[in-house]
Amino acid sequence: MVRLNVNPTRMELTKLNSRLSTATKGYKLLKDKQDELMRRFILLAKETNELRDRVEAELVDSMQAVMLANATIHEAFIEEIFAIPAEEVELDIVLKNVLSVDIPSMMFSYDESLDTNSLNYGYLNSNEELDEAINKLIQVLPDLLKLTEQEKACQLMSDEIEKTRRRVNALDSLTIPQLEETIKFIKMKLEENERSNITRLIKVKNMNK
């Protein structure tokens, strides 16, 4: 390990001991943060994967219902229905600080009573398959929005874990060993100087006898 380029003095030794103490405490704090981030990330990733599987199954079911409706109603009419939204979703995003990570919490609101009665199509064009397809798409909306929130949280936590890991590794493999090696070198030099001074004093004393 390459030592720091400093003068081997007691003042430098005091400074380096202080830096080593700070670096060691920082390493422990960052390592604890990394471990806690990993714990939370694993739990969130598991929950997100389960939610994703559910949403995908719901979307497949919804699209199958749409395809069935498409087989019984003119395609242009179905496209016209979905081109004009019957309901607006209001989305508010609030940032939550989790272990120095700003994670967006998405608060959405929409008319939960929304169903096929809210859609503007005539009685002659309506049928059971179309009603079922639209209602299934409406029902998947809450899970879909929740999945968006959790996937973004996973991405941000993953980025923070990687950033923290690099800082932990830098302290563990470079900064702390470098400080320890330099402190060891300065102590050795100071001891050598002390022995030299003692030897010199003994020689001077013997010369004066």
pLDDT at 52: 96
On whether residue 63 sits in a domain, the answer given is yes
pLDDT in tens, 138-161: 888 889 989 999 999 999 999 999
Query: Contact 78/70 with Cβ under 8 angstroms?
Result: yes
pLDDT at 79: 66
What is the pLDDT averaged over residues 44-61?
A: 95
On whether residue 201 sits in a domain, the answer given is no
pLDDT in tens, 175-208: 999 999 999 999 999 998 888 877 777 777 677 6
On whether residue 80 sits in a domain, the answer given is yes
On whether residue 176 sits in a domain, the answer given is no
Could you tell me the residue range of the domain that residue 44 belongs to? 20-159
CATH number at residue 155: 1.10.287.3240
| Spatial distance between the Cα atoms of 90 and 111, rounded to a whole number of angstroms | 10
* Domain count across the chain: 1
What is the torsion angle, in degrees rounded to the nearest 10, for the CA atoms of residue 61, residue 65, residue 68 and residue 69? -160
On whether residue 178 sits in a domain, the answer given is no
On whether residue 167 sits in a domain, the answer given is no
pLDDT at 80: 64
Q: What mean pLDDT value characterizes the chain?
A: 84
On whether residue 206 sits in a domain, the answer given is no
Is the pLDDT higher at 74 or at 6?
Answer: 6
Say if residue 117's pLDDT is above 70.
no
On whether residue 99 sits in a domain, the answer given is yes
Predicted structure pTM score? 0.75
